[in-house]
Amino acid sequence: MPSSPIRKLVPYADEAKRKGRKVYHLNIGQPDILTPIGAMDALKHTDIKVVEYSHSAGIPSYRKKLVEYYKRCNIEVNENEMIVCTGGSEAIIFAFMTCLNPGDEVIVPEPFYANYNGFAMQAGVVIKPLPSHIEDGFALPPISDFEKIITPKTKAILICNPNNPTGYLYSEQEHLALKELILKHDLYLMSDEVYREFCYDGNQHYSAMNLKGVENNVILLDSVSKRYSACGARVGVLVTHNKEVIAAAMKFAQARLSPPTFGQVLSEAAIDTPQSYFDEVITEYLARRDVVVESINKMEGCFCPKPKGAFYAVASLPIDDSDKFCQWLLEDFEYNNETVMLAPATGFYCTCGRGKNEVRFSYVLNVPDLKRAMKCLEEALKVYPGRK
């Protein structure tokens, strides 16, 4: 199993804190946004007397509520076309184990969410990375590039939209191009859409579930973790119109018995969260994004494309090795007794050597803290021994 690039530097951060340093955590997508009050109230006031197993596909009332949620997103599904999972992580693992045999290949544009590597390892699946590039904001690679790496073992394409770690938002046109590709080669299109609500600058989210004529090819992977700032609820969902996929995935769902009861209670109530909550959250994330992106692009030798969604950004820095740099920030650097914790981008790539001069920022801190973190980074780059 590969180490998590997001968490592997935790011991160094702990040691920096032990020395009395303030560490600004921009390494992990743990929002500081409050979980919706209505969801928390439902959890506090539940009258459950016995915490029983739920249905393996999820509590029926929650699945019916999810139907309403997806309808608001212009996605038409019914409660029998979904399986509630223990986080979006389990949804991805179920998709891999259901749709792919050991040794089969799934193409993923890189950089990509690091844990896809671990999920593929568990399922015996081979990830075939397809490079996207910081120069064009990490847009979807040309379809001709996909064609070059498709083999008889290729069975699926996996995208994350909006993207973690880049914040890129795939357009309707890019989805339509993927549609033609999956039709031509009879592939699954797995779409991780856990950041659906977080789209900026007037850009609208387009779901793979909106594609027509490929209903049996599309697998939607979703989660409440980021949408409602409820990462610890551990509730996700796998959604597809493909009845055979649902039937096979149910075998895995039954083997793990059921998803978390209290997490489902919270998640069902969260669906009634008013739009005003998301309006405020998006306004906050926009301000945070702009602080990070504008600050980085003012630093000599640095470049950060402006993300269209999620709450992440990848930047190139004038450094020799992002792993060394991120560790050095925690071990050897301080500015006014403060430092910053970042995620080296190497862990978001499969291709050896890529991401050496890139880091991922997760802008989940308040604006004042982000400004101080950016100042730390600016000062660090002035004195880093491996500056290029």
Residue 360 in contact with residue 312, Cβ under 8 Å?
Answer: yes
Q: Does pLDDT of 4 surpass 90?
A: no
Structure-block tokens of residue 388 = 């290029």
Tell me the mean pLDDT in the region 80-90.
98
Q: Which of these ranges, 1-10, 49-58, 219-228, 286-295, has the smallest mean pLDDT? A: 1-10
How does the average pLDDT of the chain come out, rounded?
96
CA nearest neighbour of 29 among 289, 364, 264: 364
Structure-block tokens of residue 174 = 């890019």
Burial class, 180, CB count within 10 angstroms (exposed 0-12 / middle 13-18 / buried 19+): exposed
Stretch(es) of the chain classified as CATH 3.90.1150.10 = 10-34+276-383
Structure-block tokens of residue 379 = 């000062």
Cis upstream peptide for 260 (omega within 30°): no
Q: How many beta carbons lie within 10 A of that of residue 37, not counting itself?
A: 11
Stretch(es) of the chain classified as CATH 3.40.640.10 = 37-270
H-helix or E-strand spanning residue 65: helix 60-72
Tell me the mean pLDDT in the region 151-162.
98
Residue type present at position 137: G
CATH assignment, 37-270: 3.40.640.10
Buried b (16+ CB within 10 A) or exposed e, 347-368: bbbbeeebbbbbbbbbbbbeee
Q: Does pLDDT of 155 surpass 80?
A: yes
Tell me the C-alpha distance between 205 and 170, whole Å: 8
Confidence at 186, pLDDT banded by 50, 70, 90:
very high
CATH topology classification for 10-34+276-383: Aspartate Aminotransferase, domain 1 (3.90.1150)
Tell me the C-alpha distance between 233 and 55, whole Å: 17
Positive or negative CA dihedral for 251, 254, 260, 261? positive
Q: Does pLDDT of 5 surpass 70?
A: no
Q: Please give the model's pTM, rounded to 2 decimal places.
A: 0.95
Q: Does pLDDT of 246 surpass 70?
A: yes
